[in-house]
């Protein structure tokens, strides 16, 4: 697989990464530990060198699986993890980006991952109670100590990114971005390009919807996060099927799958974008990574943009209480 530079601070990774969350959290029952390890090692064998996890995924269980899976190849991969939440009885209870807490999370994540450094350490969500300068300053100290290599942010607003970057240069921003959600194009992407910050789109397949395998009759496991996402109500899924119908027709004409076109479109936007689709299935892993070989022409991209502009997407991407945490 080809590699890309995430930003301008020397972090080189595979053009497509692996979002590890679903192995342990949010999209139904967790995989058995040995199955998760096998899937992550299969991703590495197929050329993936960028793996995204967080203490919040499980909580904590995902980091342990990632650490065990990648231990034999630790020096050949980049591992991203995150700080910024507190937990009560195994559930996210609030935000906490106090410097002392960042350091505690770093030490705990190093232990769970079985490593001596975190390649990319993201603030998972901006904490309005802690000045971003204090957050960036603490990460800078962890970088100076060699425990962290690069500083990242997730779902942050442009002004906050600028303030953080002035204290400790931000290597990458992670936010949702796909054919189904293009809001970052207005303000975030120009800011990242100006500052030389890489972009890591999560949910590049629209939380699975852009695969064409979900319709208004699909039922989700009781533990699946999509049960509370407005865009995934049966009514909104039915309304949004027009989008996937068009994408499927477009993909078939190019001997690709809808998922591969959706990922190829992201890859075509900027050379400093690295999407991190996740999956729990080996055949989906192969499908996703096949997107790196799908070349979209300028005419293809214009046709996609024209079609997308004519299709209304129904439903918010987050429930209200989670929407309040983004764009700060």
What's the pLDDT at 48? Answer: 98
3-205+270-294 has which fold? TIM Barrel (3.20.20)
pLDDT band at 35 (very low <50, low <70, confident <90, very high): very high
- Annotated active-site residue in 57, 122, 177, 318: 57
- pLDDT tens across 279-304, in order? 999 999 999 999 999 999 999 999 99
pLDDT band at 315 (very low <50, low <70, confident <90, very high): very high
What's the pLDDT at 14? Answer: 98
pLDDT band at 325 (very low <50, low <70, confident <90, very high): very high
Over residues 158-167, mean pLDDT? 98
What is the distance between the alpha carbons of residues 225 and 55, in angstroms, rounded to a whole number? 17
Q: Domain residues of the chain, as ranges?
A: 3-205+270-294
Asked about 27 being catalytic, the answer comes back as no
Q: Which three-class secondary structure state does DSSP give residue 40?
A: helix
Kindly state the percentage of the chain with pLDDT values over 90.
99
What's the pLDDT at 156? Answer: 98
Over residues 201-227, mean pLDDT? 97
Helix 99-113 × helix 61-70 angle, to 10°: 50
What's the pLDDT at 293? Answer: 97
What's the pLDDT at 168? Answer: 98
| Average pLDDT value for the chain | 97
**Contact yes or no for 49/3 (Cβ under 8 A):** yes
What is the distance between the alpha carbons of residues 178 and 191, in angstroms, rounded to a whole number? 18
């Amino acid at each position: 697989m080809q590699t890309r530079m995430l930003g301008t601070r020397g972090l080189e990774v595979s053009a497509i990464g692996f979002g590890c969350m679903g192995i342990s959290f949010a999209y139904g029952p967790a995989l058995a530990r040995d199955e998760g390890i096998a899937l992550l090692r299969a991703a590495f064998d197929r050329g993936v060198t960028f793996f995204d996890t967080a203490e919040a995924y499980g909580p904590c269980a995902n980091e342990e699986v990632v650490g065990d899976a990648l231990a034999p190849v630790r020096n050949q991969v980049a591992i991203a993890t995150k700080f910024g939440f507190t937990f009560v009885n195994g559930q996210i209870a609030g935000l906490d980006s106090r410097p002392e807490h960042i350091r505690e999370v770093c030490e705990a994540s190093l232990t769970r991952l079985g490593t001596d450094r975190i390649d990319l350490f993201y603030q998972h969500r901006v904490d309005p109670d802690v000045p971003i300068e204090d957050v960036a300053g603490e990460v800078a100290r962890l970088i100076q100590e060699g425990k962290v290599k690069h500083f990242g942010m997730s779902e942050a607003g442009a002004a906050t990114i600028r303030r953080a970057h002035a204290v400790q240069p931000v290597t990458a921003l992670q936010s949702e971005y796909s054919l189904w959600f293009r809001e970052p194009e207005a303000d975030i992407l120009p800011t990242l390009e100006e500052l030389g910050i890489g972009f890591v789109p999560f949910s590049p397949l629209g939380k699975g919807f852009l695969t064409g395998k979900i319709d208004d009759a699909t039922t989700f496991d009781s533990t699946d996060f999509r049960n509370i996402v407005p865009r995934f109500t049966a009514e909104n899924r039915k309304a949004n099927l027009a989008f996937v119908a068009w994408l499927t027709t477009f993909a078939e004409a190019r001997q690709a799958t809808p998922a591969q076109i959706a990922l190829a479109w992201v890859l075509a936007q900027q050379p400093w974008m690295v999407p991190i689709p996740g999956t729990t299935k080996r055949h989906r892993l192969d499908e996703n990574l096949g997107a790196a070989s799908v070349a979209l022409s300028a005419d293809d991209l214009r046709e996609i943009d024209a079609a997308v502009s004519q299709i209304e997407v129904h439903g918010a991407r987050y429930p209200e209480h989670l929407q309040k945490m983004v764009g700060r």
